[in-house]
Structure 1
Amino acid sequence: MTNNHQFTQVIFEMLNKYFDKNAEDIFQNSPLLQYLNIKTKSANKGSKSRPSLGNHYALYVLVEDYINKGFYNQKNYEDYEGARFSDLLRRQRELPFGEKLQNHALNHRLNMEFTKYFPTLGQKPILRDLETSRYWINENLLIIKVAKVNYNIAIVIKEIIDAYVNARQQSFRDFMSYCDELLEIENKDNNEAVNFIKSLLRPNVDARVFEITSYGILKTFYGEQKIFWGYSLEELTEDNLILYKTGRTNANDGGN
């Protein structure tokens, strides 16, 4: 189930670092790694990519809890009382871009999406007790057997998500740089300004830059057009066209 994309190389670099010649076999035998490979396509994808970190962070905080509590390569995780929901949610919101995350990914969204990709597996990443609000990572998905040897991928999972978030942060820094340049566009000559605007419409430009630039072009175009309206030819009103945008930039529904 390998769907190679640009970030796949980063995943395999980390697998090779920890597992050397067994990296490919571990990947092929790990639904969790394959799921992350699917979920990291937008790290280097085009301007229409809309990455969400909710499911990444739900997985991240549980794996982090698993490691920090000393269960990595140990055999007593089944005795763990579980992580508290409030602690997991607080930790999610401490992570980059995570301050507005809600409970959806921890409670059902990650498990639902994972099941969509692996419907016959019969395993879900998150285990939880509704009465006590305690949560566990499914250790069966962390232990991968290759050639009769068990390999724990918890640390690799955490590092893959860290690398993905770093890529998204770099994308955000690029976005801010584009915005700074847009503010200076009046100081450019016509040809330079046109070439710069064209560069912002390339497929690999951040979606927010694409949307802002597209809106600016359309608003300028329609702003120079007029309409005449009224109830009779004798009483007409002249108005400039106005382009409205509702919704926020990069909202999940795409705005209107």
Structure 2
Amino acid sequence: MRIDKHNFTDKIISILDHNTQGRGEEVLSKSEIIQYLNKKTKAANRGSKSRAAFANHYAIYVLIEDYLSKNFDNNGNYSDYEGAKFTDLFRRQRELAFGSKLQNHALNHRLNEEFKKYFPHCEYLPIIRDVESNRYWINENLIIFDQINLALSIKEIIEAYIAAKQQAFSEFMAYCQEIMAIQEKSPEKAIQFIKELFQPNIDARIFEIVSFSILKQYYAEQKIYWGWSTEDIVEESLILYKTGRTNANDGGIDFVMKPLGRFFQVTETVDVKKYFLDIDKIQRYPITFVIKTSESTSDLLQKITHQAEAIYQIKTIVKKYIESIEEIINIPRLVEIFEQVIAAGKGVGVIEEIVLQSRIEFNIETKEY
């Protein structure tokens, strides 16, 4: 299998070299679970397009930690072990950095499903689970390589990845705080900071957070007048709400606007099937797509239309889907909107919202970064 090397790969090899007497490259080239971790740690470097998710890392980590804590790497009696309790593993996951909101999906099936997708010819899956007793084991066949137990290396690789993400996030949060302090004196720097967050390779969650923060301030400046009768007209500002965790695979809509009832979906793909799935789940109610790309909105709409025509062929069906796209907001449009927000003196509000939403998303419970 071809190894996709990235910035964090050198750290993985270094840890393996230290624990395997210099055989790091060899282990990486032959061990499926190390290759899997190599794929899952791509987001450690800032330039990665990979989302910095932690669920599958932590499912492996808590089982490896349990394995090491009972000295199975030395005594070789793991096959006799009654297995780790789910409640203990789940509680431990949530104690880890960025882990307080994790669910049980990775332990129960998602890790094994993804691993099988990457390594369809591997006869082993990482997690062994007894449904009746709700006990779990790490698959020892994957963590022993040529009579070398890789458990400690796996634990150290995941710990190094989390440390790298913590450092990057702390720097990001500190920069947000700095921008809040200087925004009034140097709006140009604030604009540049936001523009840097709109690079195509930025973390998907950061893009969604920043998009929401800008659009919330932008729409808050707009008012509508409405009522149940001409004698009962009220003035109301537009308010944008987030509806769940960023980039979550929950089938939901990302933002909802009150009182107009506009729906917004944030995406980084131009796969028409994904767009139409979003349209279908709200029964073709008009929806605005916020797309992480610098392509022009006209080119994007044309591309979506061409894909739709190729897939569905029936013009009336394609027309109904395309008409459900209320607006496309790309990166240049977001930057333009942000500059209008800055000109209105609302730049600090954007940064404050970014800090707030980042705390929620990355499970930072206190003001200490």
What range is the shorter-chain TM-score in?
A: 0.7 to 0.9
* Correspondence for 1:153: 150
Per-residue deviation, 1:16: 1.1
Match of 1:124 in 2: 125
What does 1:89-104 correspond to in 2, within 5 Å? 89-104=90-105
Report deviation, 1:88: 0.8
- 2:241 & 2:49 partners in 1: Cα distance? 17
- Cα distance in structure 2, aligned partners of 1:87 and 1:171: 29
- 1:113-145 CA distance string (max 9 Å, x none): 111111111101111211111111111111101
Provide closer, same or farther for how the CA distance between residues 48 and 245 of structure 1 changes in structure 2, counting only shifts above 3 A: farther
Query: Counterpart of 1:69?
Result: 70
By relative contact order (CA 8 Å, sep 6+), the higher-ranking structure is 1
Which stretch of structure 1 is more off in the superposition, 22-31 or 217-226? 217-226
Instruction: Compare 181-190 and 97-106 and name the one that shifted more.
Output: 181-190
Distance 1:203 1:185, change over 3 A: farther
Residue 114 of structure 1 is matched in structure 2 by: 115
| Whole-angstrom distance in 1 between the partners of 2:189 and 2:102 | 40
Indicate the residue corresponding to 2:242 in structure 1. 246
Query: What is the rounded CA distance, in whole Å, between the counterparts of 2:43 and 2:133 in structure 1?
Result: 36
Give 1:23's aligned amino acid.
G
**CA deviation vs aligned residue, 1:41-79 (integer Å, no higher than 9, x gap):** 111144754222111111001111111011013221111
Distance 1:22 1:97 in 2: 32
Contact 1:47 1:203 in 2 (8 A): no
Quote the Cα distance in structure 2 between the aligned partners of 1:46 and 1:249: 23
- Residue equivalent to 2:170: 173
Residue deviations 1:162-204, cap 9 Å, x none? 0111111112212311321342344223444443443343456
**How do 1:1-256 residues align onto structure 2 when only pairs under 5 Å count?**
1=1, 2-46=3-47, 49-145=50-146, 150-202=147-199, 207-215=204-212, 217=214, 242=238, 244=240, 246-248=242-244, 250-252=246-248, 255=254, 256=265
Distance 1:81 1:225, change over 3 A: closer
Q: Do 1:142 and 1:154's aligned partners in 2 also have CA atoms closer than 8 Å?
A: yes
Classify 1:211/1:179 alpha carbon distance in 2 versus 1 (closer, same or farther; 3 Å).
Answer: farther
* Residue pair 1:224, 1:240 contacting (<8 A) in 2 also: no
CA distance in 1, matches of 2:239, 2:49: 21
What residue identity is the alignment partner of 1:201?
F
> Does the C-alpha gap of structure 1 residues 222 and 81 become closer, same or farther in structure 2, counting only changes over 3 Å?
closer
Do the aligned residues in 1 keep the contact of 2:62 with 2:93 (CA within 8 Å)? yes
Give RMSD over aligned pairs: 3.0
Distance 1:31 1:14 in 2: 16
* Aligned residue number for residue 233 of structure 1: none
Cα distance, 1:23 vs. partner?
1.8
> Partner of 2:243: helix, strand, or coil?
coil
Could you tell me how far apart the structure 2 residues matched to 1:104 and 1:54 are? 8
Q: Which amino acid aligns with 1:73?
A: N
Partner Cα distance (1:189, 1:35) in 2? 44
Identity across aligned pairs (percent)? 52
Give TM-score scaled by structure 2 length. Answer: 0.59
C-alpha contact (below 8 Å) 1:7/1:43 kept by paired residues: yes
On the 8 A contact 2:54/2:99 being kept in 1, the answer is yes
Q: How far apart, CA to CA, are the structure 1 residues paired with 2:8 and 2:182? A: 33
Q: Deviations over 1:8-38 (max 9, x none)?
A: 1110110111123322222222100000001
Q: Matched residue of 1:73: which SS? A: helix
- Tell me, which stretches of 5 or more residues in structure 1 are unaligned? 230-236
Residues in 2 aligned to 1:185 and 1:228: alpha-carbon distance in whole angstroms: 36
- Does the 8 Å contact 2:68/2:152 carry over to 1? yes
**2: distance between equivalents of 1:178 and 1:210?**
16
Contact map agreement 1:55 1:110 (CA 8 A) in 2: yes
Bigger mean CA deviation after superposition, 38-47 or 190-199: 190-199
Mapped partners of 1:119, 1:70: distance in 2: 31
Residue ranges of structure 2 left out of the alignment (5+ in a row) = 227-232, 255-264, 266-369
